[in-house]
Structure 1
Amino acid sequence: MKIHDTIAQVLKNKNIDTVLSIGPDDTVYDALKLMAEHDVGALLVLSDGELSGILSERDYARKGVLLGHPSRETRVSQMMSSPVMFVSPEHTVDECLEMMTRHRFRHLPVVGRGGVMGVVSIGDLVKWVISQQDRAIQELEGYVTGGYPA
């Protein structure tokens, strides 16, 4: 089942007013605190309002813990992933799922004409697909049982 809904629809459905971000000169410790506070797995790294990177728990585990970089002394810019792949709000859920699967990342920034609009996670997209499949099943059940409007 193809999902041609746009990422703009997914962002609207998330109903989140602010984009969680951190600056490149902030410490990784501050970033981890912010992630824990908001129960998220990644933060966008913004420099003067522009997307300059992304810092994920995976980045911290692989570039911080395993390489012995202390989080209180390490700058976000030293550990963030950059350059960052991003999508526009017009991209479809299917396009984003394919991109995330192919490149093996879990968070995808959304950038529009006005700048950074948000981020979608693989979990956000899987939830969207499941809800669309549920809706399709209900419509098919209605059709099979005669409750479908002609």
Structure 2
Amino acid sequence: MRNVRHLLEAKSPEVYAIAPDAPMIDAIRLMAEKRIGALLVIKDGRLAGIVSERDYARKIILQGRSSKTTAVSEVMTSDPRTVGLEDSAEHCMALVTDQRIRHLPVVVNGKVLGVVSIGDLVKAVIEDQQQELVQMQRYIES
């Protein structure tokens, strides 16, 4: 099974982030522009939280708040679950499943290195299973 280091190596190195004092409209625009479902919230170079489309729907739209006047810090999830480079994809899959989250920031020694999404994890599991099937077929045929 792969680890987070392998997952990050297989994807774009870009990490999209926003400041906690930015208005939510800027966060939503950036997510739409980049076609992503969440942004890391960075303050003074450190991870302060994460904000997602789900947060926007539940904490802005459903509560009748203004995305132009509501700061990201009012909507974000503070102290999000994070993973390190050596965590396994299996461990990450368990976290996103148990916590019902879709994105895991990758943080080492306080530095944000990337984000692993549930899509990244599903892709890795499928690829690993395909590789296992090929190996089993080769074993059976030999």
Residue 34 of structure 1: SS of its match in structure 2? helix
Matched residue, 1:67: 63
Moved over 2 A (4+): none
TM-score between the two structures when normalised by the length of structure 1:
0.90
TM-score between the two structures when normalised by the length of structure 2:
0.95
Which deviates the most, 112-121 or 68-77? 112-121
Number of equivalences: 142
Alignment of 1:1-150 (within 5 A): 3=1, 5-14=2-11, 16-113=12-109, 115-146=111-142
Please, what is the CA RMSD of the aligned residues? 1.1
Amino acid in structure 2 at the alignment position of 1:121:
S
In structure 2, how many angstroms separate the alpha carbons of the residues matched to 1:19 and 1:123? 16
Encode CA deviations 1:81-132: one digit per residue, 9 max, x unaligned. Answer: 1121111111111111111111111111000136001111111101100001
Residue 105 of structure 1: SS of its match in structure 2? coil
* Unmatched segments (≥5 aa) in structure 1: none
Residue 36 of structure 1: SS of its match in structure 2? helix
Amino acid in structure 2 at the alignment position of 1:104:
R
Contact 2:84 2:107 in 1 (8 A): yes
Contact 2:4 2:88 in 1 (8 A): yes
Contact 2:46 2:110 in 1 (8 A): no
- Taking every aligned residue pair, what percent have the same amino acid on both sides? 46
Q: Which one has the largest radius of gyration?
A: 1
